[in-house]
Amino acid sequence: MSWRDLRCGELRPEHVGQRLTVAGWVDTRRDHGGLVFVDLRDHTGKIQLVLKDAGAVHELRNEFVVQAVGEVAARAPDAVNPNLATGEVEIQVESLQIVSRSTPLPFQIGDDTVEETTRLRYRWLDMRGERMQRNLRMSHAAVNGIRRTMDDLGFIDIWTPAMTRGTPEGARDFLVPVRLQPGKFFALAQSPQLFKQLCMIGGLDRYYQIATCWRDEDLRADRQFEFRQLDLEMAFVEREEVLDVMEAAVVGAFEAVGKTPPERPFPRIAYDDAMSKYGSDKPDLRFAMEIQDATDVTRGSAFGVFANAPCVRYLVVPKTFSRAEHDRLVLLTKEWGAKGLANLSQVAKFLSEEELASFAVPEGSSGLFVADTEEVAAHALGLLRLHLARELDLIPDTDVFHWVVDFPLFKHDEETGEWTFMHHPFTAPTAGNEVWDPSEPQAVRGQHYDLVWNGWELGSGSIRIHDVDVQERVFTTMGMTDDEAKSKFGFLLDALAMGAPPHGGFAMGIERFVAQLAGEPDIRQIVAFPKVSSGSDPLTGAPTPMPDAVLAESGIRALPQEDPAKA
């Protein structure tokens, strides 16, 4: 005998008169003098069971797993529940079996007021609720849509190692000790970056993978230690061909989850424009509120704060602010690194007619100015733009996908004082700019591109270096000696020297993408078993200390630590 003839949500009037077996979880139980009504639930819906008030019925509690056999009957007209797909029928139960019992629950299924750590500690209960069922199924459907698209476009799925040498994607590596070689470590792949490039050099042409990546970074709304990427690489391509494939994958995922896909091609915006107009390399373009520049017009200003700053920029915000409201914005702007925030209404008296005429601040709006270095002005006003748009409810309910292109190849690392890569060190410079002075690389542009959805960076990619000399020049610019480059990346330099085709690719964070698709505020709602911000898994209690003997096998001795839970 099978456990059930159909799932709970599948019962319909056409089944009336049939004798069926059903199984599921007890969702609710209502006693009505002599009769007991039980809603039996699985992820497809609920069935109403009608039972005689006898026997095992008394023992039933929420979340018991039961199997029932009975005849399907039409409900009396006044008992029909139009809100349930199964609401016209019920099962008159002949026999009921308790398959499995449940202890009292730490929370009721579907209760959305439960604290998240508790939800994660009892994730199996949380998963029975609608939210996680919807999200995990949507995630599956989206990945399916992506896989279908990649297959249609001739990509092949190639598995690459998790345990490898460090791949420089800008985070710390998770390390794996090796018992056979005590004192040596693998790094968990931050991405399959070099393997996918080697596949291109190996003549594989179009690679993709739904790849797990591991990065030791602080956990945030859009970050977990481990996450998945749609990782792809193509040989003999230009940037536009890669972007085209990625757009097809996004559209494939939208269609697979039954949502209207964004229009293609997605708009492109240059990095410099994104930074100057929106103060961010992942601007939210659902609303305008562009940052304006007032540097030129304030050069000879009588207002010293403007005249002496290297850069003066402002936002025009459709609201006037009280003194107290403005003071709060000043505090925020200072937290974001700026020296202050000036409201045009307060500083207008120091400004010339010409300056005032150049600022387009209509009646009822405010001009909010930052006078600082270009980086600080962009950063602070970029964050203020987002903050005020949220606070003033200026963000329309639309979806805007766009590409950010033409990034610089290098950036200055304030901590080390060295030049470092903007994306990763395998990104190619723009064509015709393959030679530069390694001590002056700031003007070199890279063939790097990012995909942004409503202000979330979904992923990055680039056209890669396929010329070994250019690759060595990048390493030199980053301050690596030839010996260091050979010891860390000798295999790549060897491969590049043995017939490397031009190639490029992309990686998009699956959980970020699905979180946005599902309208969730963070990726933990998309991950079956995520970790919390301390870096722990509330369900299993991992990570845990290891016995000294186990560590010693791999040549490791743990330093005594203060238990953060007790500190």
Task: Return the amino acid letter for 309.
Answer: A
Candidate ranges 42-50, 495-503, 504-512, 540-548; the one touching ligand ASP (CB under 6 A): 504-512
Closer residue to ligand ASP in complex, CB, 135/462 = 462
Q: Does residue 462 touch ligand ASP according to CB under 6 A?
A: yes
**# binding residues, ligand ASP (CB under 6 A):** 10
Closer residue to ligand ASP in complex, CB, 343/516 = 516
Task: Tell which one of 367, 441, 461, 538 touches ligand ASP (CB under 6 A).
Answer: 461
Task: Tell which one of 86, 280, 333, 460 touches ligand ASP (CB under 6 A).
Answer: 460
As given in the structure block, the two tokens for residue 49 are 């069971």
DSSP 429: B
Task: Tell which one of 301, 506, 514, 517 touches ligand ASP (CB under 6 A).
Answer: 506
Q: Does residue 516 touch ligand ASP according to CB under 6 A?
A: no
Distance in angstroms (rounded) separating the CA atoms of residues 476 and 490: 14
Helix (H) / strand (E) containing 397: none
Q: Does residue 505 touch ligand ASP according to CB under 6 A?
A: yes
Distance in angstroms (rounded) separating the CA atoms of residues 427 and 410: 10
Packing angle between helix 130-152 and helix 239-256, nearest 10 degrees?
140
Q: Does residue 507 touch ligand ASP according to CB under 6 A?
A: yes
Q: Does residue 169 touch ligand ASP according to CB under 6 A?
A: yes
Q: Looking only at residues 210 through 269 of this chain, which bind ligand ASP when binding is defined by CB under 6 A? A: 229
Q: Looking only at residues 42 through 81 of this chain, which bind ligand ASP when binding is defined by CB under 6 A? A: none
Burial per residue of 283-318, b for 16 or more beta-carbon CB atoms within 10 angstroms, e otherwise: bbbbbebbbbbbeebbeebebebbeebebbbbbbbe
User: Phi and psi at residue 226, in whole multiples of 5°?
Assistant: -120, 140
Helix (H) / strand (E) containing 79: none
Candidate ranges 241-249, 263-271, 389-397, 458-466; the one touching ligand ASP (CB under 6 A): 458-466
Distance in angstroms (rounded) separating the CA atoms of residues 194 and 355: 53
| 3-state SS, residue 136 | helix
Packing angle between helix 482-496 and helix 468-477, nearest 10 degrees?
160
Closer residue to ligand ASP in complex, CB, 419/421 = 421
Smallest gap from Cβ 167 to ligand ASP, in A, equals: 7
Smallest gap from Cβ 71 to ligand ASP, in A, equals: 57
Task: Return the amino acid letter for 278.
Answer: Y
Candidate ranges 153-161, 311-319, 434-442, 459-467; the one touching ligand ASP (CB under 6 A): 459-467
Please choose, from the candidates 91, 80, 89, the residue with its C-alpha nearest in 3D space to the C-alpha of residue 12.
Answer: 89
Task: Tell which one of 135, 160, 191, 447 touches ligand ASP (CB under 6 A).
Answer: 191
Q: Which residues bind ligand ASP (CB under 6 A)?
A: 169, 191, 193, 229, 460-462, 505-507
